[in-house]
Structures are given as C-alpha cells and as structure tokens.
C-alpha cells in the first residue's frame, strides 16, 4: 500500500461539513481522511508523513480542545486548524496558546482554510525534517569519546585550544588532535557549524 506525501485529517460530527471540506481539499490536490468523532480519529492509523488536523471544536464526547490536549499529552505533534460555529475569545486563546495554527469561525472562506492548511503542513514538514536531523546529530554525538565530548563542550564556548588544554590538564597539541576528530565525527565544516550543531543538541557548559 502506498502512502500519500501529505495528508489532511478532518474531524467533524457534521457529515455535510465533513464532506464539503473534504471535497474542497481533494479538489485542491490534498489527500484526505475524515472522522466523525475524536474517538474515531484516535483509533485510525496515521501514516508517517507530513499531516495536519482540521478539527471541529464542538464534538460529541471528547471535544476538539480536549483532543488537542490529549494529543499533546501523548506526544503526538500534529498542527491543528480549528473550525467552530460559535467560537469565543477564551476558546480561541486556549487553542492558539496550545499551538493551533488557525481558529476559523464557520462560515469561513475557502482560501482562508486552504492557506491555513498549507501553513500547517509546512510546519509539520519542517518539524519532521528537524527531528530527522536531530536523530542523525545525536548518533554522531554518541561516536565521541568522553574526552572528545569534553573538548566539544569547551570549544563551542569560544575557548582557544590552549585554554581548553589548560582546563583539561593536557597539551595544546593533544587538544588540536581531539578537536580535529570532533570536527570529523560531527561532520562540521567550521567552528560556526560546530556551534550550530551543539545548539541543536542543546549542549552547554
């Protein structure tokens, strides 16, 4: 079975709204799956591709806002575009503070919805790329010896080789060798690149 490159999940208990939004998105070239409740969505399979959730606020059982909370607790990172028939400011603030991409009140403009979905899918694609990069960087980090890890942590603070050598009680030449190995193992082209990598790995002294 082949999976789409991107997918939009629609959760709305109003069948007419579900079908209308699905038709709009499919005509715009999106792969779409629809659900009538939060429980139905949670039971469904989700392919590992960039995705977003078009979510009605007022749902039977678990509400849209409660589903947003539940997904966050389960570490399911999926951008959400909320739809509502009668949203209020506190509801909107809660949704946006929890990371929603957009909060649209029915009836909404087609381009407004399509724009929000494109933004949501862009964010999810970037997040996935970042996660893949971080996993690769973590693998590289794990190839360092304990001493190389120490050198990395000191070098990215801007210390010179002789300063690192003094702090670790060794020679400047030894530090130069360790530093070269660190650069190779971390696939860093420059000190600036190494600092960027350290930042992504949240390495600090």
Q: Which of 109, 114, 196, 94 is nearest to 152 (CA)?
A: 196
Q: Which residues of 11-29 are buried (b: 16+ CB within 10 A; e: fewer)?
A: bbbbeebbeebbeebeeee
CATH class of 7-136: alpha beta
Q: Is 59 helix (H, G, I), strand (E, B) or coil?
A: coil
Q: Provide block-wise average pLDDT over 10 residues at a time, the chain (205 residues).
A: 79 93 94 94 89 92 90 89 80 79 88 94 92 93 95 94 94 95 95 93 76
Per-residue confidence (pLDDT) for residue 204, from 0 to 100 = 67
CA distance 157 to 144: 18
Per-residue confidence (pLDDT) for residue 1, from 0 to 100 = 46
Per-residue confidence (pLDDT) for residue 86, from 0 to 100 = 74
Residue 198 in contact with residue 156, Cβ under 8 Å?
yes
Interval 156-200: pLDDT, tens: 999 999 999 999 999 999 999 999 999 999 999 999 999 999 999
Helix and strand counts by DSSP (H, E) for the chain: 9, 5
**What average pLDDT is seen over the chain?**
90
Torsion angles phi and psi, residue 11, rounded to 5 = -120, 110
Q: How far is CA 78 from CA 55, 143, 148, in A?
A: 11, 32, 37
**Residue extents of the structural domains in the chain:** 7-136, 143-200
CA distance 53 to 124: 11
Q: Which CATH architecture has domain 143-200?
A: Orthogonal Bundle (1.10)
Same fold, 7-136 and 143-200: no
Per-residue confidence (pLDDT) for residue 144, from 0 to 100 = 96
Residue 61 in contact with residue 37, Cβ under 8 Å?
yes
């Amino acid at each position: 079975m082949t999976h789409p490159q991107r997918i939009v999940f629609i959760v709305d208990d109003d069948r007419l709204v579900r079908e209308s939004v699905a038709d709009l998105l499919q005509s715009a070239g999106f792969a779409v799956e629809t659900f009538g409740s939060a429980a139905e969505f949670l039971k469904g399979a989700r392919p590992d591709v960039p995705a977003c959730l078009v979510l009605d606020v007022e749902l039977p059982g678990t509400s849209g806002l409660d589903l947003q909370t539940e997904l966050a607790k389960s570490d399911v990172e999926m951008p959400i575009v909320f739809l509502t028939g009668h949203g209020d400011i506190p509801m909107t603030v809660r949704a946006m503070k929890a990371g929603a991409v957009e909060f649209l009140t029915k009836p909404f403009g087609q381009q407004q919805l399509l724009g929000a979905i494109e933004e949501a899918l862009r964010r999810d694609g970037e997040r996935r790329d970042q996660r893949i990069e971080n996993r690769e960087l973590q693998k590289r980090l794990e190839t360092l010896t304990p001493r190389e890890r120490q050198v990395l942590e000191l070098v990215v603070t801007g210390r010179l080789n002789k300063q690192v050598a003094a702090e670790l009680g060794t020679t400047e030449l030894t530090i130069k060798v360790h530093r070269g190995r660190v650069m190779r193992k971390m696939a860093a082209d420059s000190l600036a690149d190494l600092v960027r990598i350290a930042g992504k790995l949240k390495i600090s002294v």
